[in-house]
Structures are given as C-alpha cells and as structure tokens.
Structure 1
Amino acid sequence: MTAPLRGTSREARPLRRVRRDVAAVPFIVIWEATRACPLACLHCRAEAVPGRHPRELTTEEAYRLMEQVAAFGSPAPLFVITGGDPFERPDLFDLIRYGRARGLAPAVSPSATPALTPANLARLHEAGAAAISLSLDGAAAPVHDAFRGYDGVFTRTLDAWRAAREAGLKVQINTTVTRHNLTDLPGIARLVRDEGALLWSVFFLVPTGRGRALPELSPAQVEDVLHVLYDLGTTIPVKTTEAHHFRRIAVQRRILAERGLDHADTLGPLYRDLRRRCEEDGLIEEQRTRRPPIDVNAGRGFVFVSHTGTVHPSGFLPVGAGSVRERSLIDIYRSAPLFAALRDPDRLGGRCGACEFRTICGGSRSRAYACTGDVFAEEPWCAYQPGSFPYQDDLARQM
C-alpha cells in the first residue's frame, strides 16, 4: 500500500488561477502555421500532409494575427506556433522576429524532421523564440519511432533537445498517452528528469484526425495515470492536456494528504505498477514544489487559430467560431456564441453537469465532441461519480 503524502507548507494551493478575466483575454493562443509535415504520426490531430495548403495565412495575415494577440494587452497571452511542422514555412524566422517586436514571446512546436538542426534551433533563439516543445512518445526508439512513422526520429529528438538547450531555448516535452505507451511512461519521465525540461506536458488522446484509429483508454486507466502524474509532481514539472480532471485529482489529493489518508485504495493495478516503477527509478521524491495545474479549458483561457485562419476553442475541437480573415481574433474570442457557451458550466450535460468539480474541471470538450458529437456532453474518459468524494466541506474550502 502506498503511504499517504502529507501536505507541506511548500504547497500553498492545489490549483493555479489565471489572474486575468479569461472571458476577455486568453491565457494562451496557439496558431497552426501550416499542416505540412513530412512525418506520419499515428495520432496526428491535423492529419498532416507533405505539402502546404494554398489557403494558409500569408505572412502579412500572420503579422496581423500577432498584432491582434498583442492587442489583448500586457502581459500578452502565451503565443505558440505549431503545425504540422512550422519549419515548412520559409517565413518562420521573420514571423518570430515580428512577434517578438510586438511584445510577444513566441514558442515553437517543431516536428523532429531533418530541418530540426542545431543551426536552425540557434536561429530560432536569435529570432526571439522563447521556447520549443518536442514530442517524446516512447522511452526508446522502437516505441517512439513506430508512433511517428519513421526510423531515427527518437534519436533526432534527443539530439534536438540537447542542441536547443545549448542554443539558449527552454524545452517543453510533450507526450501523448495511448495504449501503445502506457508502460513506457516511467521511462519517459526518467528521460525528462535526466535531460531536463521546462515542463512535461502529457497529452491524453482525443480521437480526432488520425487518432480516430487508435484504441481508447478506459476511464480507470486514465484515473490511474493521472494519479501517477500527480505523484511525479514533486520531482518533475508536469501538466496535462485534454485531461482537465487532473485538476479534480489535485484538489482531492490535497485534501486526503491533509487528513493523512491513503489515496491508493480505489486505484487499479496500472497505478500500482507505474508507481512502483517510478519509485524504483527515484522519481517520486519531494525535491521541488509541485506545479499546480492551471484552470483553463477550451474557449476559457484557450484559443486555437488554424492554418487557414479559422478560430477554434481548441485544436482538438473541429468546430469553428469565425475566421481572422473576416473578424478580429479579439472579437471572436470575447463574443462568439460558442466561446461564450463554453464558459458557462451550467451548459454541461451528463455527469459533468452534475459534478461538484465542474467549475474547475469541465472535462475535455474536445473528447466529448469527438465521442458523441455534442460539445457539452460528459467527459467520456472520467471515472468520477459526482458527489462521491466524502469530504465535501473540505472541498468547498479548497475551491
């Protein structure tokens, strides 16, 4: 049985709140600069193709987009250039320079292609990029390369990771959790610890794009993995993407720890196996203050702009709310009916609508839509039954 982790004075809060009104200003803007990419990743949301789309935002249109992001005010939202592979755009360095000159701190999410060279990474830093994110979906080449569709991608990713740090770039590591790599998670965590990263962002598969063909996780498996990620939080800076119920777990675990209670009794064999292996690798130690998960969700602090300029609450939610070619991003984000509805927790259905955690979680709207066609349906990968947490008074105080 796992010993309870007691609360410490270092952990002042279980959640991190955005200090600005997320109905008016997003916390993060992600722009899909292109869908062109030479890789063939099994989970690819964008269903990337080798060539660029003729309707991609032009350089001048991209400049106007960045001006609008900066116009949200200071401090500017986080701004991420993703793809496809952003290196497929020949104007990438000009775009970064322009964004930096407008007060943004652009981050770039490149693919591990032959373009990901030390020289290009140094140019990203010189142009003004603040950070990059690299994908790592296996602890060794066989798992990662099979997922990415080409041999050699794992080695190229590690080489780029080291070269980026040498160039002065901060590095975030992204891992998409699917059934193919569940047992590899402790090994990936060990790499993140040993190589060093600004953040380990663990994505939970949304069955959209090519990801529709991959087998889904069960709610019990997701619960087990989320608890292991929470355990790792005092050794590795970890966050989740499209697993908003990680915020529920952070609050529950805080309350249980303060009461000196064990959290593991309701978890399954996957949790026990992953936890044991993490302990054997020295990955569960109180070395740092846990990074509280931040309270944002699709359309509520988060906005995605596609390669052709359509605006979405999330890159995994293929429902558009307008186009930056026709309306200002600021106007769409603040007033589009879809965005306004997603900020209202009373619109949620099923278990999410009845859940006492709905104001800090809300579930993955992207996964709800992918699985049911209803953006307000309950989160299909959540195991929690509303009202079942026994310490509701403690919960009210924490929230």
Structure 2
Amino acid sequence: MTRRPDSHAPGRSAVVRRPRHSVSERPFLVIWEATRACPLACLHCRAAAQTARHPEELDGADARRVMDQVAAFGTPAPLFVITGGDPFQRADLTDLVAYGTGLGLRVAVSPSGTPTLTRENLAAVREAGAVALSLSLDGSTAERHDAFRGVPGVFDRTLDGWRAARELGLKVQVNTTVTRDSLEDLADIAELVRREGALLWSGFVLVPVGRGEQLASLTAAETEDVLHFLHDCGTVLATKTTEGHHFRRVALQRRILDAHAEQPRLGPLYTRLHERAAALGFFDGERRTARRPPMDVSSGRGFVFVSHTGEVHPSGFLPVSAGNVKNHPLSDIYRGSALFTKLRDPSLLRGRCGACEFKAVCGGSRSRAYGFTGDVLEADPYCAYEPGSFPYQQELRALTESMTR
C-alpha cells in the first residue's frame, strides 16, 4: 500500500487527551437542546424537529437555572453548547448566551442553516459572549447538501454564515454526517472545509435515532475506513468524531504502527477516499505542526445532554432519561444516577466491547449499541476491531498507561 501521511513521532505529543478533572465529578461538555423548532427536514435529524416550538420547552427562567447548575460544577466550567432544532428560533437566545457568559461559562451555539443564520444574528450572539459556532455540512455541493437537509438554499446560507462567523471572530466547528450516501463525497467535503477554514472538522458516525432510523447503515469495515481517512486528514485539518469513539483506538494504533513504519490493513473505501483527497490537492497544503488528539469523553462520561423539556440524557443520541432538571439538580443526576454511573464503568460492557483491550479509552458508542440492541452496554455494531488482534500489545499498554500519569 502507498505510504500515507505520517503521524508525529511517538512521545512528542499526546495521542488521546483526557479532561484534567474527574469525569465522574463533572462533565467536560454540556449540550442543551434549546428547542426542537426548525424549518428544515434533515434526513438524519435525531430530534425529528418540528416547525413549531414545543409547549413544554424550558422557558427562560428554566434555562437560566440549568446554566446556574452547569456553573456550579466548578472551575473550569464545562463547555456549554446551545443546540436545537434551530436555537435562533428562540427570541431569548442572545439573552441566554449573555447570562451563561456572565456565569463564567464558555458558550457555543449550534444553529441550523435556516434564514435566521444571518450576520446580524451571529454578531448578536458574539457580542453576548459566544465563543464558538457549530455548523453542519453534509455535502460538498449545494445539490448534495440541500437534498440531505430537505430544503433548497441551505448550502449557500451555511457557507455565508460560516464566513461571517469567522470574520466576527467566532471559532467554527464543521460537522459532517457520515451516511452511505455521503461516503464517496467525504474527500470533497474535507477539501471544502480546508479551503474555507475551520477550527475543527467532526465526522458524525450515524446513530439510528429519530429520522436517522430510515437511513441505510454503514458496515463496520466502512466505518473503519472512514475513521482512518479522518486520521489522515488530521495532518491538514483538526479532526474529531461524534459517536465514533473508536477514533481514539485508531489514533493509538496509528501512533504505534507509524513508529514501526507499518500501515493498517484497510478496505477499498479508504483507498478511494485517500486517492480522491490526494487528487484534489488536499495533502499538498500547509500541514499542522501537531495532530489534535481526540478527547476521551463519551456518553455519561464527561458528556451530558439536556433536552428541550429538561430530560437529562447521557447523549442526545441515547434516548434514555436519567431524570429531569425541573425535579433534580443536574449535578445529582450526572454524578449519582444509575444510568450515568454504569456508563462510566467499562468493566460492565458486554460482547466484543467488554472483551476489548481498548475499552477504557474507547468503549464504543453506547448510543449506537442501544439503537441496534436496546442495551446501552452491548457492543458497538460499527466497530470492526477484533479484541486482542493488535500486534504490539506491550507498546499499547505502555502508551495507554502513560496517558493516566
């Protein structure tokens, strides 16, 4: 196989990052679903968004109480992301951003590519204190992206909003849903993200929830190829995954294999994606001085999701509630609920995830395990790795042990 872009030499940088505080005590990331109202009809929408706001949606006072509870976790406070639906459908969004910022929270906003994604609205949330913006790009062309989002004009609005956000000083994360229909377009999307400029590119490995239940599943082998392609892209773009927790396994494996001048055995999809990216000149541009190590957080373990009605979930893609912020403090739910505590114990994992030597740093997607089996502790069906098959187990143990020092 042709030699791929090199990782940095072992020991020169972290392979996987871990929060500096105990994830059993406080989350690294809190996402609040401000509303499910959204005029788009995205094929994958976990929220099955509607055009009107829900009558039981958290009001402004409820939302401020949630932010008070997030701030109460301590310093450094979790990153607080306001998502939807389309959060710009809330008239009080700017006031809520300002309130969270006043509490010392780092606030990010994740809008949809609707007519509300204007420079004026972006400037308002920036002025209120928002530090980052998350946008979705699911196709490299208007035809591809708008077909996925269900409404014409979304692609152009997204690009316009993206450019305006960067000009306003907002950090921009671009999210791409990895579906069967988008697989062959991923290299072109990567080149578009590189060309337009983004702080981070995230590949969302689909979870069958909401409207996403109607989309065709990837195979485990295809997922593996995608994760390794995203790893390659990390030499040019800062990359991460959403619900692709085995990207951390890939990062560890590739660090060790690179030290041995070896490549993993991958499938034809990986070859096509890499060759397409090379043909586009993706790898010819300026390289990053260091890869962005993936962060070791997952459902209920450094991550918590608060729904539009206040239900607390380990992830927005895991529709099992551990309580409601209207009745119990978020900190009590996160620290003490049976659902969250068992998700933080890798010894409870079942199937191949339970037998895997990477389970403490990967653990698989608990959302996808639940979506396919109804059991949050079962194996992630999108993982192709056979436990114990990595050839350099001693070096792997040394590398993973170094992460906990």
Q: What TM-score do the two structures reach when normalised by structure 2?
A: 0.96
Q: Which amino acid letter does the alignment assign opposite residue 385 of structure 2?
A: Y
Task: Work out the CA distance in 2 between the residues paired with 1:6 and 1:55.
Answer: 49
Answer yes or no: is 1:3 the counterpart of 2:6: no
Task: Check if 1:25 corresponds to 2:26.
Answer: yes
* Alignment partners' CA distance in 1, 2:130 and 2:24: 27
Partner of 1:315: 316
| C-alpha RMSD over aligned residues | 1.1
How far apart are the structure 2 equivalents of 1:262 and 1:269? 14
Which letter does structure 2 place at the counterpart of 1:189?
A
Shift, 1:234, TM fit: 1.2
Q: CA deviation at 1:261?
A: 1.3
- Corresponding residue for 1:281? 280
Query: Is 1:186 aligned with 2:166?
Result: no
CA distance in 1, matches of 2:2, 2:132: 37
Measured in 1, the distance between the counterparts of 2:344 and 2:14 equals 23
Please list the CA deviations of residues 281-320 of structure 1 after superposition, one character each: whole Å capped at 9, or x if unmatched. Answer: 2323643310011100100000000000010000000000
Residue-by-residue CA offset, 1:312-357 (whole Å, 9 max, x unaligned): 0000000000000000001100000100000000110000000000
Give the corresponding residue for 1:230.
231
CA separation in 2, counterparts of 1:262 and 1:168? 39
Structure 1 residue aligned with 2:390: 389
What is the alpha-carbon distance in structure 2 between the residues aligned to residue 192 and residue 142 of structure 1?
A: 17
Residues 10 and 289, structure 1, Cα contact 8 Å, conserved in 2: no
Give the 5 Å matches for 1:366-385: 366-385=367-386
Aligned-partner residue type, residue 281 of structure 2: G
Q: How far did 1:167 drift?
A: 1.7
* Displacement of 1:191: 1.1
The answer to whether structure 1 residue 355 and structure 2 residue 380 are counterparts is no
Q: CA deviation at 1:10?
A: 8.2
Mapped contact 1:131–1:169 kept (Cα < 8 A): yes
The one-character-per-residue Cα deviations of 1:89-109 (angstroms, maximum 9, x if unpaired) are 111011001001010121000
- What residue in structure 2 maps to residue 256 of structure 1? 257
Match of 2:403 in 1: none
Q: Which moved more, 1:309-318 or 1:273-282?
A: 273-282
For residues 127-172 of structure 1, give each alpha carbon's deviation from its aligned partner in whole angstroms, at most 9, with x where no partner exists.
Answer: 1111111100000011100000011110110011111111221111
**Superposed structure 1 runs of 4+ greater than 6 Å apart:** none
Unaligned runs of 5+ in 2: 401-405
Question: For 1:147-166, what aligned pairs fall within 5 Å after superposition?
Answer: 147-166=148-167
Q: Unpaired runs of 5+ in structure 1?
A: none
Which residue of the partner structure matches residue 178 of structure 2?
177
Q: Measure the CA separation in 1 of the matches of 2:10 and 2:257.
A: 15
Per-residue displacement from partner, 1:56-81 (whole Å, max 9, x unpaired)? Answer: 11100100100110111111000000
Q: TM-score, normalised by structure 1?
A: 0.98
Partner of 2:54: 53
Partner of 2:169: 168
Query: Once the 2 structures are TM-superposed, how far is the Cα of residue 13 of structure 1 from its aligned partner?
Result: 2.1
Change (3 A) 1:203 1:6: closer
Q: Which amino acid aligns with 2:315?
A: S
- For 1:390, give the aligned amino acid: P
Cα displacement (A) at 1:260: 1.3
Q: Counterpart in 1 of 2:199?
A: 198
Query: How far apart in 2 are the matches of 1:258 and 1:237?
Result: 21
Q: Percent identity?
A: 62
Corresponding pairs, count: 397
Q: How does 1:283-298 map to 2 (within 5 A)?
A: 283-284=282-283, 286-298=287-299
Q: Secondary structure at the match of 1:96?
A: helix
For the structure 1 residues 7 and 237, does the alpha-carbon distance in structure 2 shift closer, same or farther, using more than 3 Å as the test? Answer: closer
Structure 1 residues 269 and 61: alpha-carbon distance in aligned structure 2, compared to 1, 3 A threshold: same
